């Protein structure tokens, strides 16, 4: 009886926690975290310590659609004009210093193809253009995952792609890591599917903005994307599985305002 009363008191106490309290990230090394959970509007909040804002499209045009996500809400990109843009910060350039990074997102691929430049890959996450090429997490034609790291001139440092197609109508966790000594590793749903050793090219560093589902010279991805994350360090295989299935925040709340155990939902208001 006493044990049951204590449990009820604990549950009631959690219910009294105001959802307006500010969530504290359990992993404060992440430099970009976009849950895409607003469900409306033309901006999306970055919950990392960088505190940036993702802008949907350009001046009210080229807007992706709000959609149901892997957890909570997400954004659906049409593969033609839609994108999210995040203003650059020095924290987003780390291929050269410290020479490590991890790019991650949940993705439901709708369609792939070849763009006007003959490229058969479209970016989930992209940074670089015009002599300031840096990195991208890609979906290749047919739904194959890959990652590219370039020098500033656009020559590849490491650009592997592989594994089975993920263009199957389901959600998949796509993660790419880079280490200047070990190269690139690409994971799908926690399993490494391909890797590539670095060559003699020096990873680039620039001031271009970060784009979601778009490469500045013309590529667009047709997919639903949720929970975009960037780290300036390499996540190991075990950590990738853990972090893609657990919350980065100290308090997780679902869209209705009720406490939830869903991993990705840091649903707190300013």
Per-residue pLDDT for 140 more than 80? yes
- Count CB atoms within 10 A of the CB of residue 109: 27
Confidence of residue 11 (pLDDT cuts 50, 70, 90): very low
Task: For residue 195, give the nearest of 166, 234, 162, 167 by alpha carbon.
Answer: 162
How many other C-beta atoms can be found within 10 angstroms of the C-beta atom of residue 135?
Answer: 28
Report which of 40, 36, 51, 21 is spatially closest to residue 269, judged by C-alpha positions: 21
At residue 128, what are phi and psi to the nearest 5 degrees?
140, 150
Domain boundaries along the sequence of the chain: 23-243
- CATH code for the structural domain at 23-243: 2.60.120.200
| pLDDT score of 209 more than 70 | yes
pLDDT band (50, 70, 90) for residue 26: low
Q: How far apart are CA 143 and CA 159, in angstroms?
A: 16
Is residue 162 over pLDDT 70? yes
- Banded model confidence at residue 27, pLDDT cuts 50, 70, 90: confident
Asked whether the predicted pLDDT for residue 9 surpasses 60, the reply is no
> What are the structure tokens assigned to 56, written together?
């949907």
Q: How far apart are CA 141 and CA 166, in angstroms?
A: 11
Mean pLDDT to the nearest integer, 147-164 = 96
> In the numeric block, which tokens belong to residue 195?
């890797």
Q: How many residues are present in the chain?
A: 270
For all residues of the chain together, what is the average pLDDT?
Answer: 85
Please determine, for residue 106, whether its predicted confidence score (pLDDT) is greater than 90.
yes
What average pLDDT does range 142-160 have in this prediction? Answer: 96
pLDDT of residue 68: 96
Name the nearest CA neighbour of 257 among 249, 247, 267, 248.
Answer: 267
What is the C-alpha separation between 43 and 211, in angstroms, rounded?
13
- For residue 202, the SS3 value is coil
The strand pairing partners of 141, in sequence order, are none
Give the model's pLDDT for residue 24. 54
Whether the pLDDT of residue 83 is over 90: the answer is: yes
Q: What is the value of pTM for the model shown? A: 0.84
b/e per residue 237-258 (b: at least 16 CB within 10 A): eeebbebbeebbbebbbbeeee
* Average pLDDT estimate for 141-146: 96
pLDDT of residue 119: 78
């Amino acid at each position: 009886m006493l044990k049951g009363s204590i449990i009820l008191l604990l549950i009631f106490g959690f219910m009294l926690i105001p959802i307006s309290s500010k969530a504290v990230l359990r992993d404060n090394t992440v430099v970009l975290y976009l849950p895409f959970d607003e469900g409306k509007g033309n901006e999306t909040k970055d919950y990392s310590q960088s505190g940036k804002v993702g802008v949907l499209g350009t001046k009210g045009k080229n807007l992706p659609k709000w959609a149901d996500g892997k957890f909570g809400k997400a954004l659906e990109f049409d593969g033609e004009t839609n994108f999210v843009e995040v203003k650059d910060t020095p924290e987003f350039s780390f291929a050269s210093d410290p020479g490590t990074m991890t790019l991650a997102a949940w993705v439901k691929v709708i369609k792939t193809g070849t763009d006007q430049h003959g490229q058969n890959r479209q970016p989930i996450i992209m940074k670089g253009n015009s002599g300031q090429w840096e990195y991208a997490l890609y979906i290749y034609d047919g739904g194959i995952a890959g990652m590219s790291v370039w020098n500033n001139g656009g020559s590849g440092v490491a650009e592997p792609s592989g594994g089975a197609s993920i263009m199957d109508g389901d959600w998949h966790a796509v993660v790419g890591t880079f280490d200047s000594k070990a190269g690139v590793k690409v994971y799908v749903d926690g399993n490494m599917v391909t890797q590539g050793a670095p060559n003699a090219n020096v990873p680039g560093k620039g001031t271009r903005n970060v784009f979601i589902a778009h490469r500045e010279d013309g590529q667009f991805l047709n997919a639903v994307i949720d929970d975009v994350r960037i780290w300036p360090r390499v996540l190991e295989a075990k950590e990738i599985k853990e972090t893609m299935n657990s919350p980065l925040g100290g308090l997780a709340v679902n869209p209705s305002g009720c406490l939830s155990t869903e991993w990705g939902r840091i649903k707190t208001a300013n």
